[in-house]
């Protein structure tokens, strides 16, 4: 929404001119086209469903076990809450190499899983994303289990 200013010319000179700025009410970290926040769904996320979804949708390009090999995509062990582009022997796309100091928070994973190409323009990942918020929450909850110190 464009910023607009309004001033009244019909008030006496002593009147205070009022400036109104209209801005969209979205968090500073949100971008147009982002999915709704995932946090409200996480306490009820189905970890088993997330494991099944990941096996069906992600295993063609990713491995999930500790010490697993990188394939077309990187191994996802310990991905949740790690830095993005954190595996040193994987050749990430330029889009991810630029984000290497960014954490894979639940909200970052939510945005990425919703639309990988919008999250990281130029990513090698051709997956179209998961549009269902419950499925994204399930996968994120499951990713939290792929760690030496799993947490929810």
Cα-atom radius of gyration of the chain, to the nearest Å?
21
pLDDT tens-digit profile, the chain (152 residues) = 444 443 444 445 444 443 333 333 333 355 667 899 999 999 999 999 999 999 999 999 999 999 999 999 999 999 999 999 989 899 999 999 999 889 999 999 999 999 999 999 999 889 999 999 999 999 999 999 999 887 65
- What CA–CA distance (Å, rounded) separates 133 from 110? 8
Contact 101, 83 (CB under 8 A): yes
- What CA–CA distance (Å, rounded) separates 108 from 29? 10
- What CA–CA distance (Å, rounded) separates 108 from 104? 6
pLDDT score recorded for residue 32: 61
Return the number of other C-beta atoms located less than 10 Å from residue 2's C-beta.
5
How far apart, in Å, do the first and last CA atoms of the chain sit? 37
Distance of CA 101 to the CA centre of its chain: 14
- What CA–CA distance (Å, rounded) separates 134 from 95? 27
What's the pTM value of the predicted model, to 2 decimals?
A: 0.77
CATH of 39-145, one of 3.40.140.10, 1.10.760.10, 1.20.20.10, 3.30.230.30: 1.10.760.10
Contact 138, 146 (CB under 8 A): no
């Amino acid at each position: 929404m464009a910023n607009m200013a309004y001033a009244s010319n019909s008030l006496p000179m002593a009147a205070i001119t009022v400036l109104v700025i209209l801005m969209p009410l979205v968090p500073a970290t949100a971008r147009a086209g982002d999915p709704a926040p995932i946090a409200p769904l996480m306490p009820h996320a189905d970890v088993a469903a997330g494991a099944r979804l990941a096996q069906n949708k992600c295993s063609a390009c990713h491995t999930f076990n500790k010490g697993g090999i990188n394939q077309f995509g990187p191994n996802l062990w310990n991905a949740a809450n790690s830095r993005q582009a954190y595996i040193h022997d994987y050749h990430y796309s330029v889009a991810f190499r630029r984000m290497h100091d960014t954490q894979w928070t639940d909200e970052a994973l939510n945005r990425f899983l919703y639309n990988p190409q919008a999250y990281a323009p130029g990513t090698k990942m051709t997956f179209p994303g998961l549009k269902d918020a419950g499925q994204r929450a399930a996968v994120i909850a499951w990713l939290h289990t792929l760690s030496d110190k799993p947490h929810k």
